[in-house]
Chain A
Amino acid sequence: MQEFKPRKTLLGVLPDDDVLSQCIHCGMCLATCPTYDLTKLERSSPRGRIQLIKAVARGEMDLSKIFAEEMNFCLDCQACETACPAGVKYGLMVEAARVEVDNSDHISPVAKAIKKFALKVVVGSKRNLKIFSRLLYFYQNWGLKKILHTTGIINIFGKNLAEIDNLAPKVSRKFSDSFLPEHYQPKSETKYKTALLTGCLMNVMFADVNKDTHELLQKIGCKIYTPKDQVCCGSLHAHNGDFETAHKLAKQLIDVFSREEYDYLISNSAGCGAFMKEYAHIFKNDTQYAEHAKNLSSKVKDITEFLSEENPELIYKSVEQTATYHDACHLAHTQKIVNQPREVLNRVPGLKMIPLEESTWCCGSAGTYNIIQHETSMKILNRKMENIRNTGASTVITGNPGCIRQIEYGAERFNVRAEVVHPATLLNRIVKWKET
């Protein structure tokens, strides 16, 4: 093979060559990779992709169209990291490779512009996100969407757009930052001092989950700090290779959450929790932020992690319900939170938890994957829905907004009768207020 110039930038994002060298190509990851399972091609496997990234980084291979396709074909679910006994940091490598791909000419200028606009202009600014979400809300609720779909006009823009439109989460009528108080102080004794991340998309699309989380914390006797001016945590940008914006947002968030004293920073979105736990590592050499970042990361807890570890006293209403639990990748594989949610749910009397086959297998949501790689995402979703159907459970519980919307959509599309809820929502319904 001919020689190419080593991709310095790729190596620049990665800490050092050791990250690339750590994979011993034993193949233990193959069984857990949803894309390898679909194609049975080594290039669609973690092991194959690592070899490709290594070759491009070291200048042994050009950054080709196939390379670009493969990097974007990956779900970045990181199931391979859970399976890897050697502890290879696959996610780090593939995210670095995506930066290279985005900067290459294998991505069309239009696609680049749309992506940049969506991430930088829309999600990157809290004000803009709210304006766009409001517009989307009017579109979804004032009959325009219905007209476009029933008349078939939407199909003019391509069948995919119509499907994507159906897949988009419904914008909440009221955004959570408009009704959650910045400071909440329990009337009786303060059991825990907490802060709550309301997120960017969670705030506008899943305001009810934020409300449920807030209420649940109230019922436990938590003091809750919910800053109004909190921004996106930056995880969306980092996973899409825009580290500059990611780090800018992260610093803003650290500033906002360093203003008050609390012991736990509660997250109800798997991706956000995972990324905030990484702040300590990301800013470890930043003279200004290292200490604050470390401090913040150490306090971050997923709501189920918090409930499992602290085991606060809860009074349950009597229920009789069957449910099953789907592991969000960013909980199970990135944060290694697997047992905690199950423990919390198993404590609820009358809630019969039915184990889900392949519960840690990605549902195909994967950020914007279900839009960009729609067809593949639907194949993966189909597998998930069949496993859910086999449980016969009436409720699917999962701790990430992306998974909630994807599985809701899957229930309609593949005709599975089940309600999909966040653990905080389910618990808030079942847990009683304490008599005061």
Chain B
Amino acid sequence: MDSLVKAKIKNIVGNDSYFDSDEDRLCYSYDGTPLYHQLPDAVIFPKDDDQISQIVKLANSAGFNIVPRGAGTGLSGGSIPVENSIALVMTRWNHILEVDRNNLTAWVEPGVVTGILQKEVEKFGLFYPPDPGSLNVCTIGGNVANNAGGLRGLKYGVTKNYVMGIEMVLPNGDLLKTGGKNYKDVAGYNLRDFIVGSEGTLGIITKILLKIIPKPARTITMTAYFNKLVNSAQTVSDIIAAQITPSMMEFLDNTTINCIEDYTKIGLPRNAEAMLLIEVDGKGSAVDEDAAIVQSIFRKNNASNVRITSIESEGLILKTARRSAFSALARRSPTTILEDATVPRSELSVMMEKVTEAARKFDVVIGNFGHAGDGNLHPTCLTDERDIKEIDKAHRAFEFIFNQAIKLGGTITGEHGTGLAKKQFLESVAGIPGIEMMKKIKTSIDENNVINPGKIFSISPRCEGSLPHRQEQIKDFH
């Protein structure tokens, strides 16, 4: 990027919001995704809609790319810079603008941290359920862009179920306002839901209206351990068949249990093959009835060490432990490649076996955990990016896992997004007509392909320039 363009960008956002030192560029060359990184040419923190609009217009006329970014905790590479790009960071937009207790909605800026919003609305006895593992760090803007899920997806759904309105600067610099406080609204195309999960490829989100709900009166948290994987999977199936909808039904395998125990030291049994963390919530005695049925299903499937608590702080310790799973697995090895293959819930036990098979077949260590109630697993390969052969084996194992998931009627990603990491597999799920439609929408909105280009899919014939490479590809290239 030439210095004249940089000067113009700096002029728009101001000296205090423009950074292009090698140090700052390095610090925005990655997100939470393993193996991918690329330096942006500059990093900016725009202050208002108007500045963003001016930057977007300049990108079109001067020919550079914009990669929007929140806290940078994504796991598919959605916020990793591309060639000839600036990182546009929204973390300073961190104000909750309004909590409307009459309509049960909240207007927030995209840089508001998910966990902080949850704490704020809880002060009013309200509840914002989506809870990705990184909730204490990640931002609502990133959650909306990736349609983030979390532990409570089973009963409460994911981010898309809570987005009522969006304001977004479009790739031509116009400000789009879509949705609002109406519970029903069918005027025209449903643009709002379409933007959710678009991974920052259609514009820069500047304001979000969220739905909030009353906080459940009571919650009962239960843990159980199993000597056989198949017993834990059967327990999950039995609970669903019993027509109980827990607010949470999490699965962890032996490797994950041990890594979490190393970190938290809360006394998880290290020799158990599988653990289930289940939560039921609601009002009055219905919660106890659900909990009693879950416990009888535990007994039927030979669960051991069953623990039950209705104390919030005790439940929180267990949930926090579960949320640390991905990072805790890094205790075993410096690189943890996490995927989120998802299958229809009835196929969960088959999928668990396929993950075990992949580990054996390709001779890699895979820790497995995930949202059992959603059929959303997080097989995590424990490897070392400095060892190219190991990384190659990991990629072949995941290719196998993805193919198996698709055969079972599943998908390549349940909640992390496609980004860069799963681009090559998208066609097998979305199909050619699906991808073509996505591309047409993208090119009609972003004519010059300047907003987060090269993510989800590539637009041809226009070349996006070199995209962030996986480590081993760079080494092969040299």
A→B interface (CB under 8 Å): 1, 18, 21-22, 24-28, 30-31, 40-43, 45, 48, 51-52, 55, 61-62, 64, 66-67, 70, 84-87
Of B2-10, B321-329, B426-434, the stretch lying at the interface with chain A is B321-329
Q: Binary interface profile of B, 96-129, with partner A (CB < 8 Å = 1, else 0)? A: 0000000000000000010100000000000000
Cross-chain contact A86 with B327 (CB below 8 angstroms): yes
Q: How far is it, in angstroms, between the C-alpha of A41 and the C-alpha of B136 when the chains are bound? A: 17
CB neighbors of A among B20-43 (8 A): 21-24, 26-32, 34, 39
**Which residues on the A side are within 8 Å of B91 (C-beta)?**
40
Q: Which residue of A lies closest to B259 (CB)?
A: A85
**Which residues on the B side are within 8 Å of A24 (C-beta)?**
32, 34, 327, 330, 334-336
Q: How far is it, in angstroms, between the C-alpha of A26 and the C-alpha of B138 when the chains are bound? A: 10
Cross-chain contact A21 with B386 (CB below 8 angstroms): yes
Q: Which residue of A lies closest to B327 (CB)?
A: A85
Cβ-neighbour of A67 out of B23, B39, B72 (below 8 A)? B23
Q: How far is it, in angstroms, between the C-alpha of A323 and the C-alpha of B39 when the chains are bound? A: 50
Q: How far is it, in angstroms, between the C-alpha of A124 and the C-alpha of B308 when the chains are bound? A: 55
**Which residues on the A side are within 8 Å of B137 (C-beta)?**
27-28, 30-31
Cross-chain contact A1 with B32 (CB below 8 angstroms): no
**Which residues on the A side are within 8 Å of B29 (C-beta)?**
51
Q: Is B134 an interface residue (CB 8 A)?
A: yes
With A1-B22, A51-B30 known as contacts, the answer to whether A27 contacts B72 (CB < 8 A) is: yes
CB neighbors of A among B299-338 (8 A): 324-331, 334-336
Q: Which residue of A lies closest to B25 (CB)?
A: A1
Q: How far is it, in angstroms, between the C-alpha of A40 and the C-alpha of B326 when the chains are bound? A: 24
Q: Is B71 an interface residue (CB 8 A)?
A: yes
Q: Which residue of B lies closest to A21 (CB)?
A: B334
B33–chain A nearest beta-carbon distance, Å: 9
A381–chain B nearest beta-carbon distance, Å: 22
Cross-chain contact A52 with B26 (CB below 8 angstroms): yes
Among B22, B325, B331, the one with the most A-chain Cβ atoms within 10 Å of its Cβ is B22
**Which residues on the B side are within 8 Å of A40 (C-beta)?**
45, 89, 91-92, 94
Cross-chain contact A70 with B23 (CB below 8 angstroms): yes
4 closest A-B pairs by beta carbon, nearest first, are A86-B330, A85-B327, A85-B324, A42-B27
Q: Other than A26-B327, A40-B91, A85-B263, give 4 A-B pairs with Cβ distance below 8 A.
A: A40-B89, A43-B27, A52-B27, A86-B328
Q: How far is it, in angstroms, between the C-alpha of A26 and the C-alpha of B30 when the chains are bound? A: 10
A44–chain B nearest beta-carbon distance, Å: 9
B133–chain A nearest beta-carbon distance, Å: 9
B377–chain A nearest beta-carbon distance, Å: 19
Q: How far is it, in angstroms, between the C-alpha of A61 and the C-alpha of B71 when the chains are bound? A: 24
With A24-B336, A27-B32 known as contacts, the answer to whether A43 contacts B23 (CB < 8 A) is: yes
Cβ-neighbour of A22 out of B94, B260, B334 (below 8 A)? B334
Q: How far is it, in angstroms, between the C-alpha of A28 and the C-alpha of B324 when the chains are bound? A: 9
B276–chain A nearest beta-carbon distance, Å: 20
CB neighbors of A among B367-387 (8 A): 384-386
Q: Is B73 an interface residue (CB 8 A)?
A: yes
**Which residues on the A side are within 8 Å of B19 (C-beta)?**
41
A181–chain B nearest beta-carbon distance, Å: 40
Q: How far is it, in angstroms, between the C-alpha of A283 and the C-alpha of B72 when the chains are bound? A: 39
A11–chain B nearest beta-carbon distance, Å: 15
Cross-chain contact B30 with A84 (CB below 8 angstroms): no
Q: Is B262 an interface residue (CB 8 A)?
A: yes
**Which residues on the B side are within 8 Å of A51 (C-beta)?**
26-27, 29-30
